Structure 1
Amino acid sequence: MGVSTMWAVALPISLTGIPIAYVLNKTGAMEQQFFVLVAGVVCLALVAIIPAAMMIIRGEKNDPFFYVLSIFTFSSVMDLVIALENDGFISSFMTFYLLEGEPYLVTAHGTMILYWDGIAHLLMYVLMVAGHSKRQGWYREVGLYWAGSIAHSMVVFLPGNIAGKYGMKWSILLNVPYLIIPFWAGYRFLKSGVKPQKSVSKPLSVALWKRPQDVFFVLYLLAATALAAFRGMTVLGCNAEMSQIYKNQYDPYLKDDSTYPMMQMLIYLFYFIPYYVAAACGLWGGENHTWMTDWALIHAGAAAQGQFSYIGGAIHASTDPNYRLPSDPSVRLSFFLINGALFLVPQLMALRFVWGKTFTHELPPAEPILSQRKKKAFKKHM
């Protein structure tokens, strides 16, 4: 049974979560946190074990990641159901989970990450399965993008849950696999990169100003660094007049008591800035190292997930009106220009590294000394 066949088993199993959730919602036992946790653990265990067991019984060996792919497929389906229920499109499916499981999912940020997981991540799983089945290189590239996206989602979501107004409940433990597995999978994707050939690499002397697309990206990275530092200091309580004006008039969502916007800005401050600096230095030198492509994909996934959640949260109806994006056209324009750029440019930069021209060329491997001697001897006989 190949990966595509396993997916054909895992996807229907994941879809069974919808009727199961409907039945559990009608069960009185789900009014207690402990039973919600038990139900979640049992469901996750079953959707992981059944497809994996089928592969083991048939003696099929495959990428270990695909043994747990059904867990993420299941969560994507259920997250989309919860998001639709939050926005009133459906009802009576996950009410018990929102009350006694993870009530912080009813927030604007929670709803947006559910939509992203239920649509974007599910699409990534389909692409990874298709790429792996056809032995296409973009399986790894999509995997790196997904790892950046879901890891970023969790490092903002979990601290926000703990620090936010809803506090911790037992069901937060259900997020542990979604925190550990993406980092493990991301590490494996990074390690599985194409090994460079044994050849001498000589950088081309192409000045930065002769590469207009890279000039744009360097300027963006410098501006993004300054913005990340400014917004990070703002959420940490900077009393400078400019910070207060920005927080109160242009981006009041930073003050949301769910604390997710604050966590988002801290991730930009402490994690994105080092990447911005490293990428700008790499582009400045004109070297297209493997790490630049890999981390551009990881960063693009993280930026897309983060900005989708942040922009959506700022305009979502469930956000307190005091923290929602103001209706002033000039304020809205500046908000969407800034946050839209933080979403779009990382995607363009990832495409530049994946599909763009390199700025290194490889010289052919040096011939062995023995071969050179044979050629000289042959010329003498001629």
Structure 2
Amino acid sequence: MSPSPLFEPLRVGAWTLPHRVVMAPLTRNRAFGQVPTAAMATYYAQRAHPQHGASLIISEATPISPEAHGYADTPGLHSPQQIQAWRAVTDAVHRAGGRIVVQLWHVGRISHTSLQPQGQAPVAPSALRAQAKTFVFVEQDGQRRGAFVDTSEPRALRLDELPSIVDAYRQAALHALEAGFDGVEVHGANGYLLDQFLRNGANHRTDAYGGPIENRARLLGEVMAAVTEAIGGDRVGLRLSPVTPSNDAHDDDPQPLFEHVVRQLAPLGLAYLHIVEGQTGGARDHQQGPRPFDYAALRQAYRAAGGQGAWMVNNGYTRELAEQALAGGADLVAFGRPFIANPDLTRRLREGAPLNTPDRATFYGGDERGYTDYPALP
């Protein structure tokens, strides 16, 4: 294959990355009891080779507090046991020559009472139940089986509770460094808590955190300011998904909303912004609002406001599409599902080698089958 900018190094925040291929966050539901496992250390280390694997691994979404959980067997980052277990994962990645950041997650209303402390209701900007599913384990015929179930009805967060949400993100960022991560990515996408506050389809508040765009973006701004102050903006990224309908996410006019968000974030000196284009895991041309979403205008708004962070694009990318994106102004390309079955994805892209096909039946939950057993090239 001919030389490509996809495989050229790039300085991103605090890191010098060997190429532009990033591993996107992938929930795999294999952290039994919400604690990372030895199999997880193997899985991430397999994908950490600096030339064959990801230049930067973004971990699976990781809840910042007990209330932030919304799916069974997802790993937290809020207890000493979890921090210690994550340290084994990050050590394995670093021994393999890689870099890894943790995606900090609060699911908000995308949860179920069975996953909440004392069976309480999930929290949200407003008491609006999401038309969405979440993943739990149920007993069937004496066996533990994964199942997708309707989310539970949430309660609206009180105004006096919001500072503790911000502080939980700050503490999780500090825990990330304690656990050996190279940095963090804040999950502001896909209909989870921070995204719920952004969108008028989920946020019906009438206080300082609802109504006009500036108010709906307030919590995200406070979280990002707290996290960057705690560990430095050059170790912090943010994921956004302007038009995805995932988890009942909707806004009547996303273009001005997300342009305001990126302008607000520009002074924080972030390492990168991670933009999901179109429908997460689906159509790249999916739209919401009165007109097609203009991603170039979004990037221009960020740059015009002084934003220097790398621009990372995501959703259904191939090598050809990735090269087009880099030529059009992107800096990094995140690949998700291809990394499930191809621990050496970057080598395969560079050499034009065929890709292994992932087994969808093993995506969520289970053992090491469909997790650590995909072959690399000889």
TM-score relative to the length of structure 2: 0.26
Larger-gyration structure (1/2): 1
TM-score relative to the length of structure 1: 0.26
